[in-house]
Structure 1
């Protein structure tokens, strides 16, 4: 009797275990079915979105930091040249505003001045000789003209004389003809001497110009409009020539940030892109501006090599104009330039997820009159960005869909509702 009771209890446990397994399997099947149906429904749910909505918050260009230095609009550095002589004093002082062509300082060199004066004296002497030759030539041509007039009168008298008078007049006429020929030769010789004297004057003047060019103009003038930033007065008392600039002139009516951008970030920097400039020393001062220049040729300079992550990268010079400010940064100050994204109302941008790339071409699914069409577009992927620029193929008022495997050409959106 005890064995039968034990067997009944064992059978009852087995039945309960089987029922539990069946129930668990049933619930699992329902969960998977419902879940897969939800995923399928989510996949097939099509939500058209206007391109303008996707593009309105995008901006062209990327946001990143560049190092740079504050530079003036223009700058001119003048170095002393010992071969031109000494500078005893300057005609301007630090802080003065100067204009282009204004005298700044003069060289004094007795040796150079003597050589120039000697050459100039030769020019003056040759010029006097030329003047004498010209006077002699003029005199001889006038005498030739007089002799020619005398010959003409003698010839006329001879022609009008009787046969008896002609014998005596012929001797006078022939003598005057010889005088005319002689005076002509003398005048022509004098004219040649004038030409030779003129060549000597020109040669002497060339020598003067060559000497002046060798020594240069003793008066140095400003090449730009600007302000005298620095005058190294110590160089006036130094006999040897310095490698440092003696005088520096700057036009700081506008200030710029100048620096280098590497090859990976060059295409992300755009002309007219707004920028923020901050002091690298940690000051809270912030200036604004815009990019005005990006060189297309890499620079060979090794600027900022210590700060480069990879010194082997090609570097391209850039320049950014600072907006006017009441508190200008100091020249040559080291700053960081923060490149802000550029507003571009004409450019359209869409997320990369909306693009389909096939055989090197880009497509988007466009909705028109509730029908789906796979449309080719021109697309430019922006480096390190999740958006692509669309130059052509789409308009802001068109609606597009996220790509799905179930999409087909000409399919109606209502088929997926």
Structure 2
């Protein structure tokens, strides 16, 4: 009995040890698997400082949009399609003053129309008087008629009353037509309500509507005075622009000549169909364009109707003129007091901490001045929970012209509808659109849009 008890205790010890070993092996394997996953698959994406600060624009990576200089105010008038225009007294590009005659209607036709309308009015009045006489006669007969016939007279009188009311309505309508015609004869010469420059005159014979913009204006005049720039952005890139954003207005002739302005309005309601891209066989899903407007503190050196480039002001024109690097503040970890650092790729695909020295702060723009510790060629990561010493890094790719929603230029906006006829922008005869884009705007996508 004693031997049996000892053997049972020994077996229990062996089983317990075995269970512990199995449990230990299980947790060891699980730990090794977790460690392997972290080291082999956890990647931290890094981006070069030049791209983050907008100073890689010299490489051609910048969104550019086509723009045209215009007045702060425009005035337009439509031609009455019911009447014929006898003569247009101005031409496109001509300066006009307030009250100056623009075009004249054919008064002869209007006078003939007026005569016919007066004849129609006399006829309606005569018919009305005849109906009144008929009603009076029926009422008189009804009073002396037999009772069995009075119901029939009542029906006839009501019918005549309805006709009388219709005649009275027709007379009122005809009188209004006569008033309009007389007013048009008196105002057969249409004058400008502002001083400015004639921007466009539609064909007086076809009077076709511009279905791209819904514009039915016959003559459009741009007011002289303060200038602004109208740009065009497609539906893919409209999210990259915001009202209040600073922009650079760049000359198409002299790349170094610039003006600075601010986006005052993005007009999302007046969509413009882009049909020009279809002519070039492109299918990038950007069939709708939207106008936006840039206000300028000064327009000295700009001319009405001048075609320009528009690009977000990312400090590209200030590169090299200011000390240090201005970086978005969220890339700098300041969790340790007086010891700011950034997460940088060490050149061998591993992430390391690097101390930086901070200068000034721009609280409005949310940027910091990095005086030392960082170069434009450095690859840095956004500080989050994945950042750790020795973490594997991979450079984030920024493609241009892609169809998968990656960062792209505005393929359809370099030549807006306003840019037609600009010799600097049209492709040479028989050449594809890309032949005239130029390297400086390659990534902005300079395919022309709807004319």
Bucket of the pairwise TM-score, normalised by the shorter protein: 0.3 to 0.5
TM-score where L is the length of structure 1:
0.43
TM-score where L is the length of structure 2:
0.40
Q: Which has the higher helix share?
A: 1
Rg larger in structure = 1
